[in-house]
Amino acid sequence: MKYYPINLNLRGKKCVVIGGGRVAERRILGLLECGAEVAVISPKLTPKLSKLSKKNKIRYIERPYRPRDLRGTYLVMASTDNQGVNRRVCQEAKRLGILANVVSAPLLSDFTVPSVVRRGDLMITISTAGKSPGLSRRLRVDLEKIFGEEYEAFTEILGRVRRKYSGLSYGERERLYREVAMSDIPTLLRERRFKSAEKRLKKITGLGFGDIEFSPG
């Protein structure tokens, strides 16, 4: 099966997770990181989720899933150990036109949840279309070594340069952005050679870190 890659804006949107175990915990933390409003339906929660509930970071409904629990929901994730419950959640979601993901059942799901490498606003996702979560994890570990914390700073630099030169013609902007993106600035940042990184940026764009209000390190 081929999946269409897409990044969803979940900020302020109601998302429901059915289940309160460790798999559900990972899903919930990912949703919260993206600014979603998360409701969790489960008889029990992991200790970490219990803390989030007490801090009102999530809305906790302490009982099993019931029909009609998904009304007004944008997205649902079924993460219980009971495949019958997961299937019923998916069926209700489809009736209501809600995006649904069922853990370990990609054929029932509208989408799969990829492995993710995050470096600030840079996000790299890995998917095997549900065939091998283990391979996704391996590739994530490899990519985390290649794309270190310096890429968070580099992504921020690119964004600030883009805003600074938004008034240039399309051709000039693309040439400038491409040259910065393909430069060795990430390597210099990784080696903490900040003065050399700034010198390289200035040679390409005419801008130093002070011009874009950026402070490395």
Residues 123 and 161 both lie in one domain: no
Q: What is the pTM of this model?
A: 0.84
Q: Which structural domain, as residue segments, surrounds residue 25?
A: 14-113
Distance between CA atoms of 4 and 64, rounded to whole angstroms? 32
How many domains in the chain?
3
- Strands 99-102 and 75-78, how do they pair? parallel
Residues 171 and 198 both lie in one domain: yes
Residues 51 and 107 both lie in one domain: yes
Distance between CA atoms of 192 and 208, rounded to whole angstroms? 16
- Is residue 63 domain-resident? yes
Distance between CA atoms of 4 and 96, rounded to whole angstroms? 22
Tens digit of pLDDT for each residue in 41-50? 999 999 999 9
Residues 124 and 95 both lie in one domain: no
User: 10, 7, 12, 17: which is closest to 77 by C-alpha?
Assistant: 17
Residues 121 and 105 both lie in one domain: no
Q: At what angle do helices 22-33 and 47-54 cross, to 10 degrees?
A: 40
Q: What is the CATH number of the domain that holds 135?
A: 3.30.160
Tens digit of pLDDT for each residue in 85-127? 999 999 999 999 999 999 878 888 999 889 999 999 999 999 9
Residues 185 and 124 both lie in one domain: no
CB 7 within 8 A of CB 34: no
Tens digit of pLDDT for each residue in 145-154? 999 999 999 9
- Is residue 217 domain-resident? no
